[in-house]
Structure 1
Amino acid sequence: MKRFSLKNRLLFAAGGCCVVLILATGFTVQRYMQDYLRSELVSKLTLSLDELLSRLELQPQNVVITNATSSTSASLTSPAVSSVPSVDIMPIPSLSEPRFSQPYSGFYWQIQTDSKVLKRSRSLWEAELAFRHLNDEFGLDYFVTAGPTGQALMVVQQKVKLPDSETFFWLSVAQENNSLASALQGVNRSLLIGLGLLALAVMLLIFLQLSWGLRPLATLRKELAEIENGNKAQFQHQYPQEIDPLVKDINRLLAHHQHLLERARTNAGNMAHALKTPLSIMHNELALTQPPQKPLLQQQLQQMRQQIEYHLSASQLAAKQLLGAKCSPYLQCSNAVSAFSRLYASRNIVVDITFSNAITLAVDGRDFDEIAGNLIENAYKWATARIVISAMVVGDQLQMTIADDGPGMTDAECEQVLGRGQRLDEQTPGHGLGLNIAAEMARMYQGQLTLQRAALGGLAAQLTLPLRNRL
């Protein structure tokens, strides 16, 4: 769950609750429909049972019983005859449901006592309904039993006693249960399809609701990227009440840090410029006089000037990073090559820029000029006839290589020359700060500068810089 986005977490939680509620609803509706269909079937059978009861009539009969005597004079006398009343049921007219008269139609009725079956519907043909039990109460009872064809029957049974008889009769009306099962199956199929469509619709609505509700976070992220890339200095979009206080706090924090860094840069610049003036005066005085310590004093003044220039550049770079910046490496390199080509026109050096002009770096243009300008100028100083400037995007970084066909350097020399004020050739004009400042500025942009042997035979300066700011 920690790896899920906020949107996925909410969607998962809401979708899970939705599925559980829909399943519970489906189960409840299914049970309700099953009970409803069963009650409808029982009501229908109850009507047929009432009709059968209304047509039930008794038919009294006299049974003659002869008692024989064991005496010898029995043959001379008449046999004893007694009349015992017996109860039988008159034929039952056809019921209104014609399927009670069709053999094995699935609609059956039967009238019986506790010992034998008296009447049954024509649809039973030669079979009888065998019950597990007979209802002991006079009310209605219904249950499921096996029919003559092996199919399940829904039976409604009632125990009755007619006024002219002491005998109890059980009237049973039955119907095959397959109609209930098929109706329930159809209801379940429709219910499953309906609930499935409802679940999909609810999930879609939840997804749209979350997408709309979390849209301000996407806008916040987009504005943050614009601040990182230097297109904006603060958040400007109007956010909901829950996010707006946080955005305002971040804007105040950005403004406060910007103010502090601007003030620090200003103080550093003021101090650097304040020191430059007395240093210039001291340098001029040394040039006019010839004290014994002149070489030592000139060396110390030069180191002080290098330190001032170095830290002034670093303070300016820090302020630019907070404000955010971007530049086109292709355009900046093209401008630098154009300038140095005029400066070194007599040497006829060919420069190839082999990367696209669509790449954008999160580096201030003047800082990139400082970084790449020092590297390109160094390549012009030592190249024989050719310089190749190439670049490629690796992940979220740009790897740019400035290679020349000059004499190059060893690995030890490459490491040494990146030290502050270190130079391998004292005859070449400069203070020895170019490569070191370029390396330090690259590190402050969370990049890197490395020196190695080039395929052209000279030096290859590989510069790595981020495509986006890393706050």
Structure 2
Amino acid sequence: MKLHSIKLRLMALSAIWVIGSLAASAIVLQYLFVSSLERDVRQDLEAALTRLVALLDEDAPQNGLSGPLPDPRYETPLGGRYWQIEVPENQALLRSRSLWDTVLPVTSNQATTGHFEHGDEWHIIYVARTIATGGQSVRLTVGEDHGPIHEAARLFLWDTARLFALLGAFILIAAWFQLRLGLVPLDKLRTAVDAVRQGQNSRLLGRFPTEVRPLANEVNALLEEREANMERARQRASDLAHGLKTPLAALHGIAVRVREKGNERDADLIDDLAFEMSKRVDYQMRLTTLRLRKSEHRESTSLNNAVLRTIAVLKKTGRGEALHWLADLSQDHQVDIHRQDLMELIGITLENAAKWASTRVTVRSTVIGANATIEISDDGPGVPEERLPQLGRRGQRLDEATSGSGLGLAIASEILALNSGRIEFRRGDTGGLVVALTLPLAPH
């Protein structure tokens, strides 16, 4: 059982309650049924005792009755009905033939009822009364086997158990459907939360019951607060980046003046620091722009168009003119990413491939399931297998001798993370680097 499942917990409690209630009801009904049977038997025995008193011989009760009782069971040994007459003064004892050699141990002088068990198989219920006749006390007892009551109670309990089992099954089935119906609002809430998580909605939409509505309102308030905090954080990052642009430009001017004074070393140092800081600012500003995309918006951008347009631009650069560009693209597909994000992503990876390629850059695209993958490979020196995991980390540069900030592939990783994609690096067949970009296809 899933201990954390509300449905199963409530169902288990319902099962315990239903089974316990029905079992208790069966016990109570069994008791009432037996009590009712014993009451009827006692009333019958009272009537038989009254008839026995009427049949006593008033002159000499020890000599027997004036006539037999009408029930033949009194004359059959262990026949099921019994009577006994005692005269305590002279210890006289008269018994029905059905008692055989057994004496009912009735000692009270008052009218009483009770049970008598002899061995494991003989159990009787009796009624006794003491009367005065002929100047002496006579105690009369009439009894009946309790076995038929036992058997009737057993059959009644069995019938009750079958009935209650069927009733319990119906109750539990009804409880299961009631739980399913009662928990539907929670399923709707889960679906609404999933729609927010997948970016289909920005808020929990739908009509919820009174008990669930406060939770939905709190979640919506939390989403609004989170969005407001993220917007403020983006604005602050953008303001900070823009605020640093002017001081960095001033540093470049200072470097020029220092160089004019003949201090090349300090001027280069200032330029390098200003350049590094500019790259960091550009990086944050580009990420800020990416995060402005609303999560609930679904995009549809042509993958092939972005690749071909970027290649056309790079071919016009000094480095791109010296390379051979091969675009092996499958049927064009629309991917779920903003057009500007895709252009940025393709541009970064193609620029990185052009930077390291010796003669050729190859671009291939494939579609598997609900994802499109584009592989960009070069025929450059490549990256050792043990250092591939370092690629895509912010500020990580594998070749310090080459100019650059090491932020390009980190930005590509950020773009893919924001658009539910992934990036993989591996060595190519010719030794160069292969960058595989995977993006989800746009919904139809």
TM value normalised by structure 1: 0.67
* Contact 2:62 2:93 survives alignment (8 Å): no
* Pair 154,418 (structure 1): closer, same or farther in 2 beyond 3 Å: closer
**Larger Cα-atom Rg:** 1
Quick one: which amino acid aligns to residue 31 of structure 1? Y
* Contact 2:420 2:439 survives alignment (8 Å): yes
2: CA distance, partners of 1:41 / 1:281: 116
* Pair 380,176 (structure 1): closer, same or farther in 2 beyond 3 Å: farther
> How high is the sequence identity, in percent, across the aligned residues?
23
* Contact 2:125 2:146 survives alignment (8 Å): yes
2:112 aligns with 140
Indicate yes or no: 2:328 matched with 1:350: yes
1: CA distance, partners of 2:421 / 2:362: 29
SS at match of 2:63: strand
* Contact 2:129 2:141 survives alignment (8 Å): yes
2: CA distance, partners of 1:257 / 1:87: 104
C-alpha offsets along residues 63-104 of structure 1, whole Å, 9 cap, x if unaligned? xxxxxxxxxxxxxxxxxxxxxxx9623442341x34445554
SS at match of 2:116: strand
* Contact 2:310 2:347 survives alignment (8 Å): no
Matches within 5 A, 1:5-16: 5-16=5-16
Quick one: which amino acid aligns to residue 47 of structure 1? A
Deviation of 1:267 after TM superposition, in Å, equals: 6.3
Indicate yes or no: 2:111 matched with 1:174: no
C-alpha offsets along residues 334-378 of structure 1, whole Å, 9 cap, x if unaligned? 55456568788974443569xxx99x97x7675456446644675
* Contact 1:158 1:170 survives alignment (8 Å): yes
Deviation of 1:10 after TM superposition, in Å, equals: 3.9
Deviation of 1:180 after TM superposition, in Å, equals: 0.5
Deviation of 1:379 after TM superposition, in Å, equals: 6.0
Indicate yes or no: 2:62 matched with 1:93: no
Indicate yes or no: 2:188 matched with 1:219: yes
1: CA distance, partners of 2:59 / 2:430: 128
Residue number among 413, 420, 426 corresponding to 1:452 in the alignment: 426
**RMSD value, Cα:** 5.1
* Pair 379,177 (structure 1): closer, same or farther in 2 beyond 3 Å: farther
Matches within 5 A, 1:276-287: none
SS at match of 2:114: strand
Residue number among 180, 190, 197 corresponding to 2:159 in the alignment: 190
* Pair 364,135 (structure 1): closer, same or farther in 2 beyond 3 Å: farther
Deviation of 1:44 after TM superposition, in Å, equals: 2.0
2:435 aligns with 461
Deviation of 1:181 after TM superposition, in Å, equals: 0.6
Q: Which runs of 5+ in 1 are unaligned?
A: 61-85
Deviation of 1:466 after TM superposition, in Å, equals: 10
1: CA distance, partners of 2:392 / 2:102: 111
Indicate yes or no: 2:383 matched with 1:409: yes
Q: Which runs of 5+ in 2 are unaligned?
A: 316-322
1:309 aligns with 282
2:53 aligns with 53
* Contact 1:157 1:173 survives alignment (8 Å): yes
* Pair 49,372 (structure 1): closer, same or farther in 2 beyond 3 Å: farther
The number of residue pairs the alignment matches comes to 418
* Contact 1:45 1:174 survives alignment (8 Å): yes
* Contact 1:58 1:87 survives alignment (8 Å): no
1:105 aligns with 79
SS at match of 1:189: helix
Quick one: which amino acid aligns to residue 92 of structure 1? G
SS at match of 1:239: coil
2: CA distance, partners of 1:456 / 1:37: 99
Indicate yes or no: 2:129 matched with 1:158: yes
TM value normalised by structure 2: 0.71
Quick one: which amino acid aligns to residue 142 of structure 1? G
Residue number among 439, 456, 469 corresponding to 2:413 in the alignment: 439
* Contact 1:145 1:155 survives alignment (8 Å): no
2: CA distance, partners of 1:466 / 1:349: 21
Indicate yes or no: 2:28 matched with 1:28: yes
C-alpha offsets along residues 160-185 of structure 1, whole Å, 9 cap, x if unaligned? 332xx234333332222221011111
* Contact 2:330 2:365 survives alignment (8 Å): yes
1: CA distance, partners of 2:378 / 2:19: 70
Quick one: which amino acid aligns to residue 315 of structure 1? T
Deviation of 1:213 after TM superposition, in Å, equals: 3.3
* Contact 1:113 1:170 survives alignment (8 Å): yes
* Pair 238,416 (structure 1): closer, same or farther in 2 beyond 3 Å: closer
Deviation of 1:225 after TM superposition, in Å, equals: 1.1
2: CA distance, partners of 1:31 / 1:263: 75
C-alpha offsets along residues 1-20 of structure 1, whole Å, 9 cap, x if unaligned? 99523344444445444444
* Contact 2:329 2:363 survives alignment (8 Å): yes
* Pair 333,151 (structure 1): closer, same or farther in 2 beyond 3 Å: farther
Deviation of 1:226 after TM superposition, in Å, equals: 0.8
